Amino acid sequence: MHILLTGGTGFIGQALVPHLQAMGHTLTIFSRQRHSESSAVKFIQHLDDLTQAEPIDTVINLAGESLAGARWTKRYKQKLRASRIDLTQNLVHTLQRSDHRPKHFISGSAIGWYGDCGEQKVDESHPAGSGFGAELCKDWETAALAAQDALGSTVTVLRIGVVLDKNGGAFPQLFTPFRFGLANWPGSGDQYLSWIHRSDLVAAIAFLLKHPLEGAVNLTAPEPTTYKMLAQEISKLRKTWVTMPAPAFAMRLALGEMADELLLNGQRVLPTKLAANGFAFHYPTIDKTLQAILTQ
Ligand code: NDP
């Protein structure tokens, strides 16, 4: 199958691309940068180039400026929105002009959709929460769902949890204090972190290509952890000498609104749809995931 991938050069894309190639798919990747091409991967820098590209069977739309890339000023928030919502809208409009419409339109979103849920377990049926992150996800999902009417595609939106792996993503930053023997967590540490190992995320996207589920699908491991539990598990694998939580007020001072939305708020998200459709996680628990990240 020929897949159009946006965000194919990022942390998730770098693991997804070789997996899709190994499955025998051909890829067109939309990227703002110039890249050298191979026989199985073509790059485009402008969406208009899609009209000349080989017909697209499936779209995987993951592009978006990093949420942790800068302080959330009005200007940066606009960048976060434009790189997801405007891009998705442009993508749908561009594909509408082509004769061949993708059957399946898979698009990114995040567990930020749920806002702050405290200890409550939430699945795909839970309504959107409040705050900038929830609004961003809501509008991103709406832009993607428009592909249903505009293109006649089955639309799957991926509510992705915090993606963990040895290199890249959130883990190296979460792990930094532990390198110096400091067990650390943001705020009370009782807030839930819904996470997924990057290789399970890639496997779940590949599973969804074969089982095109409609609507939102949570891409999170079945056992979310609290930050405190995460610190305890890391401390079993790396000797820590001192426990030093980062107080909420200091985090707010340093990071502004982003501190609450990305670190101090919690979401205890369950992958109900993936589980109901028979997806098996290779890394269902945080201890197994940390073993893989820290010892292999
Ligand atoms: P990265 O920050 O590693 O990569 C971002 C990707 O988006 C790059 O491929 C980049 O392409 C592309 N991109 C960024 N800004 C733009 C823009 N203005 N126009 C076009 N393309 C753009 O992200 P991840 O791989 O970690 O995440 C991919 C998506 O998944 C993101 O949308 C993110 O919000 C979402 N997600 C990620 C989570 C995580 O823990 N990693 C958790 C939940 C959701 P290039 O530079 O080549 O143009």
Q: Mind listing the pLDDT tens digit for each residue in 191-215?
A: 999 999 999 999 999 999 999 999 9
Is ligand 1 within 6 A of the CB of residue 66?
yes
Please report, as a single letter, which amino acid is at residue 129: G
Tell whether the model's pLDDT for residue 37 goes beyond 80.
no
* Least confident segment among 34-43, 125-134, 163-172: 34-43
The fraction of the chain above a pLDDT of 90, given in percent, is: 93
Domain boundaries, the chain: 2-295
**How many angstroms separate the alpha carbon of residue 83 from the centre of ligand 1?**
9
Provide the β-strand partners of residue 186: 246
Instruction: State the DSSP code for 150.
Output: H
Is ligand 1 within 6 A of the CB of residue 163?
yes
pLDDT attached to residue 71: 95
Tell whether the model's pLDDT for residue 51 goes beyond 90.
no
Is ligand 1 within 6 A of the CB of residue 60?
no
Is ligand 1 within 6 A of the CB of residue 262?
no
Q: Which residue has the tokens 């499936």?
A: 58
Atom 26 in ligand 1: which residue has the minimum CA distance? 11
Please report, as a single letter, which amino acid is at residue 152: G
Is ligand 1 within 6 A of the CB of residue 162?
yes
CATH class in words for 2-295: alpha beta
Residue 52's pLDDT band (boundaries 50, 70, 90)? confident
ipTM for this prediction: 0.99
pLDDT attached to residue 53: 73
Q: Mind listing the pLDDT tens digit for each residue in 256-287?
A: 999 999 999 999 999 999 999 999 999 999 99
**How many angstroms separate the alpha carbon of residue 32 from the centre of ligand 1?**
12
pLDDT attached to residue 236: 96
pLDDT attached to residue 283: 98
Is ligand 1 within 6 A of the CB of residue 63?
yes
Mean pLDDT for 132-160 is 98
Is ligand 1 within 6 A of the CB of residue 20?
no
Q: Is the distance from CB of 29 to CB of 5 less than 8 angstroms?
A: yes
**How many angstroms separate the alpha carbon of residue 12 from the centre of ligand 1?**
8
Mean pLDDT for 109-120 is 96
* Least confident segment among 31-45, 61-75, 176-190, 206-220: 31-45
Residue 23's pLDDT band (boundaries 50, 70, 90)? very high
Best mutation site among 5, 17, 28, 32 for ligand 1 pocket (most ligand atoms within 8 Å of CB)? 32
**4: Cα within 13 Å, side-chain hemisphere:** 31
Is ligand 1 within 6 A of the CB of residue 112?
no
**How many angstroms separate the alpha carbon of residue 8 from the centre of ligand 1?**
8
Best mutation site among 33, 48, 66, 218 for ligand 1 pocket (most ligand atoms within 8 Å of CB)? 66
Atom of ligand 1 nearest to the CA of 169: 41
H helical segments located in the chain: 11-22, 74-81, 87-96, 132-151, 171-179, 198-210, 227-237, 248-255, 257-258, 272-276, 286-295
pLDDT attached to residue 54: 84
Best mutation site among 50, 111, 136, 160 for ligand 1 pocket (most ligand atoms within 8 Å of CB)? 160
